[in-house]
Structure 1
Amino acid sequence: MRRKWDPKTKAKIVLEGLMGGCVSELCRSHDLRPGQYYKWREQFLKNCHLAFEKPVCPPADPELAEENEKLKQLVGELTLKLNNGNSIL
């Protein structure tokens, strides 16, 4: 049966190796094959720059965007009514 490794554990193991830990001892202590460690390390190093990128905002909810537009339109109409009612000329 294959073990499932969560991303945090993988990162922790890879960082231990990158910080100078003996890879063979590290793999033995985690019951991990060295080949798997090196695959994780390669993936980690290819994607480590992503930690410094701005997070991507999720796409806006279409219903929320529609409601927002309606509210903007209503505020604009009410502002025009207020400005026209207060004109003293």
Structure 2
Amino acid sequence: MKRRQWTPEEKLKIVMEGLRADCTVTELCNRHQISQVQYYKWRDKLLSEGSKIFAHGGVNKAEQRLKNEVNKLKNTIGDLTVKLNKKQIMYCYPGLG
């Protein structure tokens, strides 16, 4: 049987649901078909690492830096692709240059 892969958003939603105490952990785990051990691992990770979100500008600044770097790399790839295409055209049709 293939194991389910949970997204970070799904894990957070499940843990937050458990922290609200609208139901027991057993009911929550049965509803989402996860073990209680898995729930407590996710909860403990959130509680131990959650403060990192608010440290040093939080995840948003780090995420923005990564997005900027990705955009810069995409632009570089685009520029190199254009240059390569020009060289290929010049090689195939030397009279155009």
What's the TM-score bracket when you normalise by the shorter of the two chains?
A: 0.5 to 0.7
CA RMSD of aligned residues (A): 2.3
Give the structure, 1 or 2, with the largest relative contact order (CA under 8 Å, sep 6 or more): 1
TM-score relative to the length of structure 1: 0.61
| Equivalence for 1:31 | 33
| Equivalence for 2:88 | none
- Cα distance per residue 1:15-69 (max 9 Å; x no partner): 01111131000000001110000000111111111221312334976xxxxxxxx
| Equivalence for 2:13 | 12
Letter in 2 for 1:7: P
Distance 1:30 1:10 in 2: 10
Q: How many residues align?
A: 64
Query: Structure 1 stretch 48-57 or stretch 2-11: which is displaced more?
Result: 48-57
Letter in 2 for 1:13: I
Distance 2:17 2:53 in 1: 18
Structure number, greater radius of gyration:
1
Query: Structure 1 stretch 44-53 or stretch 30-39: which is displaced more?
Result: 44-53
Q: Secondary structure at the match of 2:46?
A: helix
Letter in 1 for 2:51: H
Alignment of 1:36-75 (within 5 A): 36-53=38-55, 54=57, 55-56=61-62, 57-58=65-66
Q: Secondary structure at the match of 1:32?
A: coil
| Equivalence for 2:4 | 3
Q: Where in structure 1 are there 5+ consecutive unaligned residues? A: 62-89
TM-score relative to the length of structure 2: 0.56
